[in-house]
Amino acid sequence: MRFCLLTCVGVCLFVVGPACAEEDFLELFDGKSLDGWVQHGGKATYRVEQGTIVGRSVPNTSNSFLCTQERFGDFVLTYEFKCDAELNSGVQIRSNVFEEDTEFVADGKAKKIGKGRVHGYQVEIDPNQPERLWTAGIYDEGRRGWLYPGRRGGDEKSFTEQGQRLYRKGDWNQVRVECRGHHIRTWLNGELRADFEDDMTSNGFVGLQVHGVGDRTDTLTVRWRELQIRQIK
């Protein structure tokens, strides 16, 4: 729940709940339907249950993404998630899908993104690696791999130690993302995580990932709620 302090003629009132969110934040999810979203990639299922978006794994499919139809450039994005311990997931930002195979250049080398492949910055949900916990780090999906920690900075050991301290296993976690020009920052449960600059992509959709699980037949789930975005002019 959110607590907002409102002042009117010298009287202070506390208002509880989503109604106190900043007026210029847009609700990406209405709590009732998947209107405004479209699925790309694999065949994981997405359903609305009790005011949350629930992603469920299915066997023998590639990574799946539920994506906003609207695109965003500079923004502040906030959301909460809860993820099964054995599932990898994430939230795409400034991400895209091409209708044809498309070449790009990274580190001086030409590479190709396949038709229909979701690619772009991903704010990681990374609870299932025993040697690390890089939740709220940035992975470049479909292109260059880990950016933070990785080629754009961040010490892997200290990033893991911070993640292990902050991450709420089996419970809801809060994430804040800010993209301003080339500057990208993330926070996990109120504490700064990634902070770096990268100029490969300036805008794109927001997407909710359910990672592929190979031939595993038991269902793993990830849940999202309170998805809000404020565009920066």
With a CB cutoff of 8 Å and minimum separation 6, the contacts of 19 are none
Looking at the domain assignment, is residue 7 inside a domain? no
Question: What's the rounded Cα separation, in Å, for the pair 36 and 56?
Answer: 20
141-164 b/e (C-beta count within 10 Å ≥ 16 → b): bbbbebbbbbebebeeeebbebbe
Looking at the domain assignment, is residue 12 inside a domain? no
Q: What is the DSSP letter of 166?
A: H
pLDDT at 6 over 50: no
Looking at the domain assignment, is residue 190 inside a domain? yes
Looking at the domain assignment, is residue 1 inside a domain? no
Looking at the domain assignment, is residue 9 inside a domain? no
Looking at the domain assignment, is residue 6 inside a domain? no
ω into 127 cis (within 30 of 0): no
CATH of the domain at 56: 2.60.120.560
Best CA proximity match to 178, nearest among 125, 121, 119: 121
Question: What's the rounded Cα separation, in Å, for the pair 43 and 58?
Answer: 7
Q: How many domains does the structure of the chain reveal?
A: 1
Domain range enclosing 119: 23-231
**pLDDT classification of 23: cutoffs 50, 70, 90:** low
Looking at the domain assignment, is residue 130 inside a domain? yes
**pLDDT classification of 107: cutoffs 50, 70, 90:** confident
Looking at the domain assignment, is residue 8 inside a domain? no
pLDDT for 31-44, tens place per residue? 999 999 999 999 99
pLDDT for 83-96, tens place per residue? 999 999 999 999 99
